[in-house]
Protein backbone atom coordinates (compact mmCIF):
# COMPACT_ATOMS: atom_id res chain seq x y z
CA UNK A 1 0.00 0.00 0.00
CA UNK A 2 1.62 3.25 -1.15
CA UNK A 3 0.79 6.47 0.68
CA UNK A 4 0.26 9.35 -1.72
CA UNK A 5 -0.27 12.97 -0.73
CA UNK A 6 -2.28 15.10 -3.16
CA UNK A 7 -2.46 18.81 -2.28
CA UNK A 8 -5.29 21.03 -3.50
CA UNK A 9 -7.57 18.07 -4.15
CA UNK A 10 -10.73 20.03 -3.32
CA UNK A 11 -10.04 22.47 -6.16
CA UNK A 12 -10.81 22.23 -9.85
CA UNK A 13 -7.98 20.12 -11.32
CA UNK A 14 -7.09 18.50 -7.99
CA UNK A 15 -10.59 17.04 -7.60
CA UNK A 16 -10.28 15.30 -10.97
CA UNK A 17 -6.82 13.97 -10.05
CA UNK A 18 -7.99 12.72 -6.65
CA UNK A 19 -11.03 11.01 -8.24
CA UNK A 20 -8.82 9.29 -10.82
CA UNK A 21 -6.23 8.09 -8.30
CA UNK A 22 -8.76 6.91 -5.68
CA UNK A 23 -10.81 4.93 -8.20
CA UNK A 24 -7.98 3.62 -10.37
CA UNK A 25 -5.45 2.70 -7.68
CA UNK A 26 -7.08 0.81 -4.78
CA UNK A 27 -3.57 -0.13 -3.63
CA UNK A 28 -2.76 3.55 -2.96
CA UNK A 29 -3.91 5.30 0.19
CA UNK A 30 -4.71 8.80 -1.04
CA UNK A 31 -4.43 11.74 1.38
CA UNK A 32 -6.06 14.88 0.05
CA UNK A 33 -4.62 17.92 1.83
CA UNK A 34 -6.56 21.13 1.24
CA UNK A 35 -7.07 24.36 3.20
CA UNK A 36 -10.56 24.78 1.70
CA UNK A 37 -10.01 28.38 0.61
CA UNK A 38 -12.75 30.07 -1.43
CA UNK A 39 -11.63 27.82 -4.32
CA UNK A 40 -11.73 24.54 -2.38
CA UNK A 41 -15.02 22.70 -2.11
CA UNK A 42 -15.65 19.24 -0.67
CA UNK A 43 -18.71 18.98 -2.94
CA UNK A 44 -16.19 18.54 -5.80
CA UNK A 45 -15.20 15.10 -4.48
CA UNK A 46 -18.34 14.01 -2.70
CA UNK A 47 -18.68 10.91 -4.89
CA UNK A 48 -15.44 9.37 -3.60
CA UNK A 49 -15.33 10.61 0.01
CA UNK A 50 -16.42 7.24 1.44
CA UNK A 51 -13.82 5.21 -0.48
CA UNK A 52 -11.67 3.09 1.89
CA UNK A 53 -8.42 4.29 0.31
CA UNK A 54 -9.27 7.99 0.71
CA UNK A 55 -8.58 10.41 3.57
CA UNK A 56 -9.27 14.14 3.61
CA UNK A 57 -6.97 16.36 5.67
CA UNK A 58 -7.88 20.01 6.17
CA UNK A 59 -4.71 22.08 6.49
CA UNK A 60 -2.61 24.92 5.18
CA UNK A 61 0.64 24.25 3.29
CA UNK A 62 1.94 27.61 4.58
CA UNK A 63 2.06 26.14 8.10
CA UNK A 64 5.50 24.47 8.19
CA UNK A 65 5.05 22.77 11.59
CA UNK A 66 1.77 21.22 10.47
CA UNK A 67 3.28 20.01 7.17
CA UNK A 68 6.34 18.52 8.93
CA UNK A 69 4.18 16.64 11.42
CA UNK A 70 1.90 15.37 8.64
CA UNK A 71 4.93 13.91 6.83
CA UNK A 72 6.28 12.48 10.11
CA UNK A 73 2.97 10.69 10.80
CA UNK A 74 2.39 9.28 7.32
CA UNK A 75 5.82 9.15 5.63
CA UNK A 76 4.32 9.59 2.17
CA UNK A 77 5.85 7.71 -0.79
CA UNK A 78 4.78 10.33 -3.29
CA UNK A 79 3.47 13.88 -3.48
CA UNK A 80 1.34 15.42 -6.21
CA UNK A 81 1.36 19.13 -5.47
CA UNK A 82 -1.54 21.11 -6.94
CA UNK A 83 -2.54 23.43 -4.07
CA UNK A 84 -2.12 27.02 -5.18
CA UNK A 85 -3.68 30.40 -5.48
CA UNK A 86 -4.58 30.10 -9.17
CA UNK A 87 -6.44 33.18 -10.44
CA UNK A 88 -4.42 35.88 -12.25
CA UNK A 89 -6.90 38.67 -11.46
CA UNK A 90 -6.74 37.92 -7.72
CA UNK A 91 -2.93 37.94 -7.91
CA UNK A 92 -3.11 41.51 -9.19
CA UNK A 93 -5.17 42.67 -6.20
CA UNK A 94 -3.41 40.53 -3.53
CA UNK A 95 0.05 39.38 -4.72
CA UNK A 96 1.35 38.42 -1.26
CA UNK A 97 -1.28 35.71 -0.87
CA UNK A 98 0.30 34.12 -3.96
CA UNK A 99 3.81 34.33 -2.52
CA UNK A 100 2.61 32.71 0.70
CA UNK A 101 0.82 29.72 -0.80
CA UNK A 102 2.65 29.21 -4.09
CA UNK A 103 6.21 29.94 -2.95
CA UNK A 104 6.36 29.39 0.84
CA UNK A 105 3.78 26.58 0.69
CA UNK A 106 5.78 24.74 -1.98
CA UNK A 107 9.00 25.27 0.01
CA UNK A 108 7.38 23.76 3.10
CA UNK A 109 6.39 20.66 1.14
CA UNK A 110 9.85 20.35 -0.42
CA UNK A 111 11.53 20.67 2.98
CA UNK A 112 9.20 18.17 4.59
CA UNK A 113 9.75 15.64 1.80
CA UNK A 114 13.53 16.08 1.83
CA UNK A 115 13.77 15.79 5.63
CA UNK A 116 11.34 12.89 5.91
CA UNK A 117 12.93 10.90 3.11
CA UNK A 118 16.40 11.52 4.65
CA UNK A 119 18.31 11.04 1.42
CA UNK A 120 16.81 7.61 0.86
CA UNK A 121 14.87 8.53 -2.21
CA UNK A 122 14.18 5.00 -3.45
CA UNK A 123 10.67 4.84 -4.91
CA UNK A 124 9.93 8.39 -3.76
CA UNK A 125 8.67 11.20 -6.01
CA UNK A 126 7.71 14.85 -5.70
CA UNK A 127 5.46 15.89 -8.59
CA UNK A 128 4.99 19.64 -8.98
CA UNK A 129 2.03 20.72 -11.13
CA UNK A 130 2.66 24.06 -12.83
CA UNK A 131 1.47 26.30 -15.61
CA UNK A 132 2.46 27.49 -19.07
CA UNK A 133 2.15 31.08 -17.80
CA UNK A 134 5.71 30.85 -16.41
CA UNK A 135 6.97 31.21 -20.00
CA UNK A 136 5.36 34.65 -20.38
CA UNK A 137 3.64 35.72 -23.56
CA UNK A 138 4.01 34.62 -27.19
CA UNK A 139 3.57 36.84 -30.23
CA UNK A 140 1.48 35.66 -33.17
CA UNK A 141 3.90 32.80 -33.93
CA UNK A 142 5.70 30.04 -32.01
CA UNK A 143 5.02 27.59 -29.21
CA UNK A 144 6.27 27.13 -25.65
CA UNK A 145 8.68 24.19 -25.39
CA UNK A 146 10.29 22.76 -22.25
CA UNK A 147 13.40 24.86 -22.96
CA UNK A 148 11.63 28.19 -23.44
CA UNK A 149 13.11 30.70 -20.98
CA UNK A 150 10.93 31.65 -18.02
CA UNK A 151 9.53 35.17 -18.39
CA UNK A 152 6.49 35.53 -16.08
CA UNK A 153 4.41 38.69 -16.22
CA UNK A 154 1.76 38.46 -13.48
CA UNK A 155 2.25 38.00 -9.74
CA UNK A 156 0.53 34.60 -10.19
CA UNK A 157 2.93 33.41 -12.89
CA UNK A 158 5.93 34.90 -11.05
CA UNK A 159 4.97 32.93 -7.93
CA UNK A 160 4.52 29.71 -9.94
CA UNK A 161 7.86 30.31 -11.73
CA UNK A 162 9.53 30.77 -8.36
CA UNK A 163 8.06 27.51 -7.06
CA UNK A 164 9.21 25.68 -10.22
CA UNK A 165 12.76 27.01 -9.67
CA UNK A 166 12.76 25.78 -6.06
CA UNK A 167 11.62 22.32 -7.14
CA UNK A 168 14.50 22.12 -9.66
CA UNK A 169 16.93 23.51 -7.07
CA UNK A 170 15.94 20.79 -4.57
CA UNK A 171 16.50 18.22 -7.32
CA UNK A 172 19.97 19.53 -8.15
CA UNK A 173 21.11 20.40 -4.63
CA UNK A 174 19.67 17.59 -2.51
CA UNK A 175 18.94 14.96 -5.17
CA UNK A 176 15.21 15.14 -4.47
CA UNK A 177 13.43 13.05 -7.12
CA UNK A 178 10.92 15.23 -8.93
CA UNK A 179 8.89 15.64 -12.10
CA UNK A 180 7.35 18.93 -13.20
CA UNK A 181 4.63 19.70 -15.72
CA UNK A 182 3.58 23.01 -17.24
CA UNK A 183 0.05 22.90 -18.57
CA UNK A 184 -2.15 25.21 -20.60
CA UNK A 185 -5.68 26.46 -19.72
CA UNK A 186 -7.99 23.73 -18.42
CA UNK A 187 -11.77 23.68 -18.65
CA UNK A 188 -14.46 21.24 -17.51
CA UNK A 189 -16.65 20.39 -14.52
CA UNK A 190 -16.06 21.81 -11.02
CA UNK A 191 -14.26 24.88 -12.44
CA UNK A 192 -14.73 27.89 -10.14
CA UNK A 193 -16.81 30.58 -11.89
CA UNK A 194 -14.15 33.29 -11.71
CA UNK A 195 -12.30 31.85 -14.73
CA UNK A 196 -13.43 32.69 -18.27
CA UNK A 197 -15.48 29.64 -19.31
CA UNK A 198 -17.44 28.88 -16.09
CA UNK A 199 -17.88 32.61 -15.35
CA UNK A 200 -19.42 33.18 -18.76
CA UNK A 201 -21.64 30.06 -18.54
CA UNK A 202 -22.94 31.28 -15.17
CA UNK A 203 -23.49 34.83 -16.47
CA UNK A 204 -25.36 33.54 -19.52
CA UNK A 205 -27.62 31.43 -17.29
CA UNK A 206 -28.45 34.61 -15.34
CA UNK A 207 -28.57 36.94 -18.38
CA UNK A 208 -25.66 39.00 -17.07
CA UNK A 209 -23.09 40.84 -19.23
CA UNK A 210 -20.10 38.82 -20.48
CA UNK A 211 -17.06 40.98 -19.59
CA UNK A 212 -14.47 40.47 -22.37
CA UNK A 213 -11.15 42.08 -21.40
CA UNK A 214 -9.64 44.54 -23.91
CA UNK A 215 -10.38 43.75 -27.56
CA UNK A 216 -10.82 40.01 -26.90
CA UNK A 217 -7.96 39.13 -29.26
CA UNK A 218 -6.00 37.23 -26.60
CA UNK A 219 -5.26 33.59 -27.31
CA UNK A 220 -5.29 30.60 -24.98
CA UNK A 221 -4.69 26.87 -25.59
CA UNK A 222 -7.58 24.94 -23.99
CA UNK A 223 -7.41 21.40 -22.58
CA UNK A 224 -10.25 19.31 -21.14
CA UNK A 225 -9.47 18.80 -17.45
CA UNK A 226 -9.96 15.02 -17.55
CA UNK A 227 -7.27 14.80 -20.23
CA UNK A 228 -4.97 16.77 -17.91
CA UNK A 229 -5.69 14.24 -15.13
CA UNK A 230 -4.73 11.41 -17.50
CA UNK A 231 -1.47 13.20 -18.33
CA UNK A 232 -0.71 13.73 -14.62
CA UNK A 233 -1.31 10.03 -13.93
CA UNK A 234 1.05 9.10 -16.77
CA UNK A 235 3.82 11.50 -15.74
CA UNK A 236 3.58 10.40 -12.10
CA UNK A 237 4.05 6.77 -13.08
CA UNK A 238 6.23 6.96 -16.18
CA UNK A 239 7.81 10.40 -16.26
CA UNK A 240 11.61 10.52 -16.06
CA UNK A 241 13.18 11.78 -12.85
CA UNK A 242 14.18 15.49 -12.98
CA UNK A 243 12.29 16.03 -16.25
CA UNK A 244 9.78 18.70 -17.24
CA UNK A 245 6.88 18.00 -19.60
CA UNK A 246 4.64 20.57 -21.27
CA UNK A 247 0.97 19.61 -21.50
CA UNK A 248 -1.44 21.35 -23.88
CA UNK A 249 -4.56 20.91 -25.92
CA UNK A 250 -3.24 21.60 -29.46
CA UNK A 251 -6.29 23.86 -29.33
CA UNK A 252 -5.75 27.62 -29.63
CA UNK A 253 -8.68 30.00 -29.44
CA UNK A 254 -8.92 33.78 -29.43
CA UNK A 255 -11.08 34.71 -26.42
CA UNK A 256 -13.70 36.46 -28.54
CA UNK A 257 -14.06 33.48 -30.90
CA UNK A 258 -14.38 31.11 -27.95
CA UNK A 259 -17.00 33.36 -26.33
CA UNK A 260 -19.01 33.49 -29.58
CA UNK A 261 -18.91 29.66 -29.84
CA UNK A 262 -19.98 29.38 -26.20
CA UNK A 263 -22.87 31.80 -26.84
CA UNK A 264 -24.00 29.78 -29.86
CA UNK A 265 -23.96 26.49 -27.88
CA UNK A 266 -25.73 28.08 -24.92
CA UNK A 267 -28.49 29.49 -27.20
CA UNK A 268 -29.10 25.93 -28.40
CA UNK A 269 -28.97 24.35 -24.93
CA UNK A 270 -31.23 26.96 -23.34
CA UNK A 271 -33.64 27.06 -26.28
CA UNK A 272 -32.97 30.75 -26.85
CA UNK A 273 -33.20 32.38 -30.29
CA UNK A 274 -29.85 32.36 -32.14
CA UNK A 275 -27.86 35.49 -31.25
CA UNK A 276 -29.51 36.05 -27.84
CA UNK A 277 -26.50 35.13 -25.69
CA UNK A 278 -24.03 37.01 -27.92
CA UNK A 279 -25.92 40.23 -27.14
CA UNK A 280 -24.54 39.91 -23.58
CA UNK A 281 -20.91 40.36 -24.81
CA UNK A 282 -19.50 43.55 -23.26
CA UNK A 283 -15.95 44.81 -23.81
CA UNK A 284 -14.45 45.98 -20.51
CA UNK A 285 -11.17 47.42 -19.21
CA UNK A 286 -8.22 45.16 -19.99
CA UNK A 287 -6.37 43.04 -17.42
CA UNK A 288 -3.08 44.81 -16.49
CA UNK A 289 -0.08 42.98 -17.97
CA UNK A 290 -2.41 40.76 -19.99
CA UNK A 291 -0.41 38.05 -21.81
CA UNK A 292 -1.27 38.07 -25.52
CA UNK A 293 -0.94 34.42 -26.39
CA UNK A 294 -0.14 31.04 -24.84
CA UNK A 295 0.37 27.93 -26.95
CA UNK A 296 2.04 24.70 -25.92
CA UNK A 297 4.26 22.36 -27.88
CA UNK A 298 3.26 19.07 -26.23
CA UNK A 299 5.34 16.87 -28.52
CA UNK A 300 7.70 15.67 -25.73
CA UNK A 301 4.96 14.08 -23.60
CA UNK A 302 3.40 12.79 -26.82
CA UNK A 303 6.51 11.09 -28.19
CA UNK A 304 8.06 9.98 -24.88
CA UNK A 305 4.95 8.93 -22.94
CA UNK A 306 2.35 8.50 -25.69
CA UNK A 307 -0.10 11.09 -24.27
CA UNK A 308 -2.43 13.19 -26.38
CA UNK A 309 -5.78 14.84 -25.66
CA UNK A 310 -8.70 12.46 -26.18
CA UNK A 311 -11.55 14.97 -26.14
CA UNK A 312 -12.13 17.50 -28.93
CA UNK A 313 -12.91 21.08 -27.92
CA UNK A 314 -16.43 20.90 -29.34
CA UNK A 315 -17.16 17.71 -27.35
CA UNK A 316 -15.48 19.00 -24.18
CA UNK A 317 -17.29 22.31 -24.28
CA UNK A 318 -20.61 20.59 -24.89
CA UNK A 319 -20.00 18.24 -21.92
CA UNK A 320 -18.93 21.19 -19.75
CA UNK A 321 -22.01 23.28 -20.55
CA UNK A 322 -24.28 20.28 -19.88
CA UNK A 323 -22.55 19.68 -16.55
CA UNK A 324 -23.12 23.27 -15.41
CA UNK A 325 -26.75 23.22 -16.51
CA UNK A 326 -27.26 19.95 -14.61
CA UNK A 327 -25.50 21.29 -11.52
CA UNK A 328 -26.99 24.74 -10.96
CA UNK A 329 -27.20 23.99 -7.22
CA UNK A 330 -23.40 23.56 -7.08
CA UNK A 331 -23.05 26.87 -8.93
CA UNK A 332 -25.60 28.67 -6.75
CA UNK A 333 -23.94 27.45 -3.55
CA UNK A 334 -20.53 28.84 -4.48
CA UNK A 335 -21.74 32.08 -6.03
CA UNK A 336 -23.57 33.22 -2.92
CA UNK A 337 -21.76 35.02 -0.09
CA UNK A 338 -18.14 36.08 -0.63
CA UNK A 339 -18.34 35.54 -4.40
CA UNK A 340 -20.73 38.49 -4.71
CA UNK A 341 -18.30 40.99 -3.20
CA UNK A 342 -15.41 39.58 -5.29
CA UNK A 343 -17.54 40.04 -8.40
CA UNK A 344 -18.45 43.64 -7.50
CA UNK A 345 -14.80 44.60 -6.88
CA UNK A 346 -13.44 42.86 -9.98
CA UNK A 347 -16.05 44.08 -12.46
CA UNK A 348 -17.02 47.38 -10.78
CA UNK A 349 -20.74 46.58 -10.87
Query: What does the buried/exposed string (b/e) look like for 315-326 if buried means 16 or more CB atoms within 10 Å of the residue's CB?
Result: ebbeebbebbee
Q: Does 165 bind ligand DAU (CB under 6 A)?
A: no
**Smallest distance, ligand DAU to C-beta of residue 222, A:** 9
Query: Which of 70, 79, 80, 82 lies at the binding interface for ligand NAD (CB under 6 A)?
Result: 82
Q: What is the DSSP string of 130-173?
A: EEGGGG----SS--B-TTSPP---SHHHHHHHHHHHHHHHHHHH
Q: Which stretch binds ligand NAD (CB under 6 A): 8-16, 164-172, 209-217, 333-341?
A: 8-16
Neighbouring C-beta atoms of residue 334, cutoff 10 Å: 21
The site string for ligand NAD over 10-29 (x = CB under 6 A, - otherwise) reads xxxxx---------------
Q: Does 37 bind ligand NAD (CB under 6 A)?
A: yes
Burial class (CB in 10 A: 0-12, 13-18, 19+), 72: exposed
Q: Does 39 bind ligand DAU (CB under 6 A)?
A: no
Any idea how long the chain is? 349
Q: Are 78 and 2 in contact (CB under 8 A)?
A: yes
Q: Does 167 bind ligand DAU (CB under 6 A)?
A: no
Q: For residue 131, list its beta bridge partners.
A: 183
Please tell me the distance from the alpha carbon of residue 173 to that of residue 166, in angstroms, as a whole number. 10
Enzyme catalytic residues: 132-133, 156
DSSP 8-class letter at 217? -
> Which residue number, 86 or 101, has a Cβ lying nearer to ligand DAU?
86
Q: Does 158 bind ligand DAU (CB under 6 A)?
A: no
Residues lying near ligand NAD in the complex (CB under 6 A): 7-8, 10-14, 34-37, 39-40, 60-62, 82-86, 101, 105, 129, 131, 160, 183, 185-186, 192
Which residues contact ligand DAU by CB under 6 A? Answer: 86-88, 131-133, 184-185, 195-196, 199, 211-213, 218, 220, 255, 287, 294
Amino acid sequence: MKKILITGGAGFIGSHVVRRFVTKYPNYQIYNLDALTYAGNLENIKDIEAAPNYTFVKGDIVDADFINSLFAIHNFDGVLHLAAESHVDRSISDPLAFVRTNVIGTMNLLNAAKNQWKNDFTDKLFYHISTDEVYGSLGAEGLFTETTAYDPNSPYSASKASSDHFVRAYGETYGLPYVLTNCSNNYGSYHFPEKLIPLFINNIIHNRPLPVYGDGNYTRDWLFVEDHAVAIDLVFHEGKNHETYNIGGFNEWKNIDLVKLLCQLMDQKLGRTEGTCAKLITYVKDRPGHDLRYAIDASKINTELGWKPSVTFEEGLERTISWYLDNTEWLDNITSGAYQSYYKDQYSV
